[in-house]
Amino acid sequence: MSPQPAAVKQAVTERANGLCEYCKSPADYSPQPFSIEHIFPISAGGDSDMDNLAYACQGCNNHKYTKTRGIDPLSNHEVALFHPRQDIWGIHFGWGDGGLEIIGLTATGRATVHELQLNRKNLVNLRALLLLADLHPPME
């Protein structure tokens, strides 16, 4: 995979308001740099157009890897994972446990929470600290 031009990285970052487009954690408070993720993987014929790029934290990027579909734990059906360019976050996800956890509201939301592990311990800990600082949940 060729490195993205700085202008593309900046545009993707700004479009996402500096938040991971899956778990909504802010890059400004992450110890690891975020990635520009290919929603439909290059290995499966995806391109590097803006419509196929998403801003993702390292954890979400690692868990998503080349997946575009996952199992909804409620129905056990395979469904499309959340697509940041085609889907609206607030339709598929909500905040639970006072903002500490992401809840899947749809089959796609539940499958994405499950496959990308959007309630990883480090994310829940970060949310707890950001809540104390009035920096969470993020405004959209």
What are 12's two structure tokens?
Answer: 């993707």
Which range binds Zn ion by CB under 5 A, 16-24, 35-43, 45-53, 92-100?
Answer: 16-24
Assess 81 for contact with Zn ion (CB under 5 A). Answer: no
Assess 102 for contact with Zn ion (CB under 5 A). Answer: no
CA 51 vs. chain centroid, Å, equals 15
What 3-state DSSP class applies to 14?
Answer: helix
CB of 126 to Zn ion, least distance (A): 10
Cα gap 124→118, rounded to integer Å: 9
Assess 20 for contact with Zn ion (CB under 5 A). Answer: yes
CB of 134 to Zn ion, least distance (A): 21
What are 59's two structure tokens?
Answer: 């954890």
Burial category of 78 from C-beta neighbours within 10 Å (exposed 0-12, middle 13-18, buried 19 and up)? exposed
Assess 23 for contact with Zn ion (CB under 5 A). Answer: yes
Q: Which residues pair with 80 in a beta bridge?
A: 69
The residue from 12, 22, 35, 92 that contacts Zn ion (CB under 5 A) is 22
Which range binds Zn ion by CB under 5 A, 34-42, 60-68, 70-78, 95-103?
Answer: 60-68
Whether 83 contacts 104, CB under 8 Å: no
Contact positions vs Zn ion (CB under 5 A): 20, 22-23, 57, 60
